[in-house]
Amino acid sequence: MNTTIVSLKKQLRKDMASRLEKISTQELSAQSDQLFQKLQQLESFKKSKNVSVYISMPTCEIMTKNIILHLLNSDKNCFIPRCTKNTMDMVRITSVGDFESLPLNRWSIPEPPLDQERENALDGAGLDLILVPGVAFDKNKNRIGHGKGYYDRYIRKCKAWSEENHKQAPALVALALNEQVVEVGKIPLEETDQVLDSVLTPLEIF
């Protein structure tokens, strides 16, 4: 692993953290609502049946609760992350009550317990759309996450699954606050980093 890239990524995460913690709850909520309106117009969202969406942290990223409630009240299937130390799967939640009864993990994010029987997206029909979180994004559709590599690994796993099952790989759409977009060249890239299909912000999509 390239130590220069690792330290550049660390620095960018630090810079972004101080930029993002200045965003007020009201602003976070307003941007999340604007983005939600835009997402519903998106072709890849409209035609998707099986959608995976992250459950947002209390601060510093687009809030996804409204998206999740919308999915649960529609004819789409909603899948959310469930992580072990090194792996992540997308498991289905079936109702608003199910979502609201999820226990909090150590990051205060609701997450289904590992010992709970859940439908796994890749044991069924796979995913049509993955709504991807991140720390920063650029116009070339690159992203930097929190450094654990969960999404990069999961996206590679989905692509391999899609090939094996002769299905189209899921569309990868990142959800970004306006402040999370950085200029091209700012995100240090490694071969394992997965490029997105599009980045959706409250103002634009690229």
36-91 pLDDT, tens digit each: 999 999 999 999 999 999 999 989 999 999 999 999 999 999 999 999 999 999 99
Closest CA to 93 of 115, 121, 66: 121
Give first-to-last CA distance, the chain, whole Å: 30
- What percentage of the chain carries pLDDT values higher than 90? 97
Q: Which long-range contacts (CB under 8 A, 24 or more apart) does 154-163 make?
A: 154/88, 154/89, 154/90, 154/130, 155/130, 155/194, 156/192, 156/194, 157/122, 158/122, 158/126, 158/127, 158/130, 161/122, 161/126, 162/126
Q: Tell me whether residue 67 is in a domain.
A: yes
Q: Tell me whether residue 142 is in a domain.
A: yes
The structure tokens listed for 48 are 């998707």
Q: Tell me whether residue 29 is in a domain.
A: yes
Q: Tell me whether residue 205 is in a domain.
A: no
pLDDT of res. 16: 98
d(C-alpha 36, C-alpha 175), whole Å: 9
Q: Which long-range contacts (CB under 8 A, 24 or more apart) does 22-29 make?
A: 23/59, 23/60, 23/177, 23/179, 25/59, 28/59, 28/63, 28/177, 29/63
127: domain range?
Answer: 3-200
Mean pLDDT to the nearest integer, 5-11: 95
Kindly report, residue by residue over 167-204, the tens digit of the pLDDT: 999 999 999 999 999 999 999 999 999 999 999 999 99
Q: Tell me whether residue 121 is in a domain.
A: yes
Binding-site residues sit at 9-13, 55, 61, 143-151
Q: Using pLDDT thresholds of 50, 70 and 90, give the confidence band for residue 1.
A: low
Q: What is the CATH number of the domain that holds 136?
A: 3.40.50.10420
Q: Tell me whether residue 30 is in a domain.
A: yes
Binding-site residues for substrate sit at 55, 61
Q: Tell me whether residue 134 is in a domain.
A: yes
Kindly report, residue by residue over 120-163, the tens digit of the pLDDT: 999 999 999 999 999 999 999 999 999 999 999 999 999 999 99
Q: What is the pTM of this model?
A: 0.97
Query: Would you give the distance in Å from CA 90 to the centre of its chain?
Result: 11
d(C-alpha 90, C-alpha 95), whole Å: 16
Domain count, the chain: 1
| Cα torsion angle, 33, 199, 58, 40, sign | positive
pLDDT of res. 68: 98
pLDDT of residue 3 exceeding 90, the answer is no
Q: Tell me whether residue 206 is in a domain.
A: no
Structural element, H or E, at residue 183: none
Binding-site residues for ATP sit at 9-13, 143-151
pLDDT of residue 19 exceeding 70, the answer is yes
Kindly report, residue by residue over 155-173, the tens digit of the pLDDT: 999 999 999 999 999 999 9
Order of strands across the sheet that contains 129-132? 88-93, 77-83, 50-53, 129-132, 171-175, 198-200
